[in-house]
Structure formats: C-alpha cells, structure tokens
Structure 1
Amino acid sequence: MTLELILRHHRTWIISFKSKCSLHSLAFVPKHNPADEAEIEKLKHFLKYRDNICVLTGAGVSTESGIPDYRSEEVGLYARNTNKPVQYQDFVRSDQVRKRYWARNYIGWPRFSSFHPNQTHLALYQLEVPLKRVSCIITQNVDRLHHKAGSRNVLELHGTAFHVMCLGCDNRIYRNDFQTALAKLNPNMTIVSKTIRPDGDVELSQVRGKKPMA
C-alpha cells in the first residue's frame, strides 16, 4: 500500500467508522472533527520527504478499539467518576491493595486482552514496515495493540499488561499464564464487569462474604 493510499484509506475510515464500530467502542471516542483535505496533504508532504520518524502514542490512539482513556472531557474515566488507578507506592506497600488490584485485573483481563488494533495502529504498521518511514513507536499504552497490528520496533514507556514480573526476583511470566494460576487459586471468582480501564483494571466492589483474592 502506498503512502497516499494509507492516508486516504485512514481518512475514509475516520469519516465512516460510525457504521463499522460498535456503540460500545464509540462511547469512548472523544469528540473530534474529521481530518480535512489540507491536513491530509500536509501530513502526506511531511511523510513523503522524511524518514526515520519516531511516533509517540498515548491512550487516545486506542479509544477507537474500545479502550477508554482517562482524561478526555465527558468520555474519559476521570470525567465519569472519581476513582483513580492503583499507584505503584500503594501497590508495594499494602497487601490489601495488591489483592484488590489483582481481583479487578483478573476480572478485566479476558476482555482487555481480546481488544483488536484499529486503523491507526494498522496505518502506523504500514508506515513502519512496508514503507520504512517510521523507525520506532514509543507508546504510553500497555495494551499491546501496536504489536497486534504488526509493528516491530515498539518501546512501551509504561511497560505492558501482557507480562507479570516478580518485584523480589525479577522473574517474568506471561499474563495469560498468571490468569490460569489465579483461576486455579480462586475457583469461586465468577464476577463479570462491563467496565474497563486503559490498564485493564475494572470497577469491582467487595463481594459480600467472600474475599476478592486468595
């Protein structure tokens, strides 16, 4: 696919994506104006005469896949509730915080791990691999959608949700393997949540009479 086709295809998708996406995905896309012809031409000119480009992406690039961001007006999680994600200092300091985090992450993982890349991820793959205009992608996201799209040189600035590392010995395992271990240790944990966060966490209240994690 040529550079012009990539940009035209991406613009067409932006204009018509309402008919292709689920209402759930659309609920997390911030209000925006479609790219116009002048913007397309400006971007095409930039990409045509430059290579070795480094692209920085954040939560906004994944909203069209159905993953909400935190800070967008009206649709961002901070705009819709006051609950904040677990902070690292609290996670390492408190056993109860760790149990609560893993309970919520355990419930959210099947859905979070099943999200698919959208046209932005796919366009960046085209610009990196076939066209060799983009040399690297630095992302703040932990959702691995750039990898799923095929991008190769991706630096995950905040890490990834797809691996779990021991804070004591640095041993690492795949998140899917950890999900299997959690399921065996918590056979009665059958709660389902429709909410999701950019890091895979979900809203989860304490189950009466049951502890959230073994």
Structure 2
Amino acid sequence: MSTELLRTSLAILLQGLLGTLLLSVASIVGGTLIGLIAAVLRSFGPWGTSRVAQLYTELFRGTPVLITLMFIYFGVSYFGYAIDVFAAGVVGLSVYQGAYISEIFRSGIEAVPKGQWEVSQILGLSKTQAFFTVVLPQTGKIVLPPLIGQYLSLIKDTSIVSMIGMSELMHGGQAIVDRVGKPAEIYGLVAVLYFAVCFPLSQWVRHHDRRNVLS
C-alpha cells in the first residue's frame, strides 16, 4: 500500500470510526436503559408486564440483529414515516442489545442476597427505595464485567449498520475497497481500528476478573 493511499484511507476510516463511536455510545446508553427496565419488570413487575418483558427478551435474543435493523429502518417507511439512518441504527441496536443486557441485569439482581431486602424493610425503606439505594448499587458491581463484555459485542455489531447505509467504520472500508481495491490491506486497517477500541475494554474485564479471583 502506498503512503498516499494509506493517508487518504486512514482519513476516511477515522471519520467512519467517529460514526462508529457515536453510534456505540448512544446504543450503549439506550440498550442499558431498556435492559434495566426489562429486568426490573421481569423481576418485580405484575404478571402481565413480566410476561411482556420476557416475550421481548426471548424474541430479540432469538432473531438476528440485521432483521431488527431492517425492520426498523424499512418498516417505519412502510407506514409512511421517515427515519434517519443513524436513529434507526441506535434504536435497532438498543432494542436488540437491551434483550441481552436485561438478562445480565436480572442475573445480577437475583445474585444480591435476599437478606438485603429484609434489612431494608427493617430500616423502613419502601421496595422502590430499597431497590435504588441498596440492591441496584450491588447489582452494578456484580454485572459490570459481563456488561462490558456485552458492550464489546455491541461495538462490533455496529458494523452491521452499514447494511442500511450508515457511514461508519465498516461502510468507509467498503467504500475504499469499491474505489481502489486492495481488500486485504483496507479491511486489515478496519480490523486494527476495531481492535484499538475493543482491546482496552477486554483487558479491563480480564484485569477485573483476575482481581476478583485474587481477592
């Protein structure tokens, strides 16, 4: 690969990486909120809402993320509305990843000793107060490593959003390959950039797990 091609390719890919990072952050926030709500409904909601949350979880965990993205992006236009490709990507990834995140949160909630609830009741806290002040902070510590692992999966899933035309890292790589060829070199650069984002997070998870084992 020539120096000039490397320079111009990196400029395009870094611009795509910015789109990937923005999409990832927005989807992480959305997926975490959706997942937490679904986990709470499954754990504490009345039968009807609990069943709806369970159906949501099973539905999206049992279908490909591309189907979710296609349904949101093209399905909205079918009903006479328009949705921005970035918004479609955020909604699609948030809804899809939220189903997996809800199971992580639910496992964390169930891992908190039931005695914590009893102590909270003795202290006069309502169930809502006990959840937000006692249970949720402990749940956060329990679920943080698997949650970061799921975020890594989400970051890599952003590459699929190129299928609906969003200009992110993979889309930028495809555009360069279509113009100049050299797929091995270009996709190699794309892989390096994904690695640069994901590797520090994976190392943090590994370090956190090792520290927990030693403690």
TM-score interval, smaller chain: under 0.3
More helix per residue:
2
Report the TM-score when normalising by structure 2.
Answer: 0.27
The structure with more radius of gyration:
2
More strand per residue:
1
Q: Identify which of structures 1 and 2 has the higher relative contact order when contacts are C-alpha pairs closer than 8 Å and 6+ apart.
A: 2
Report the TM-score when normalising by structure 1.
Answer: 0.27
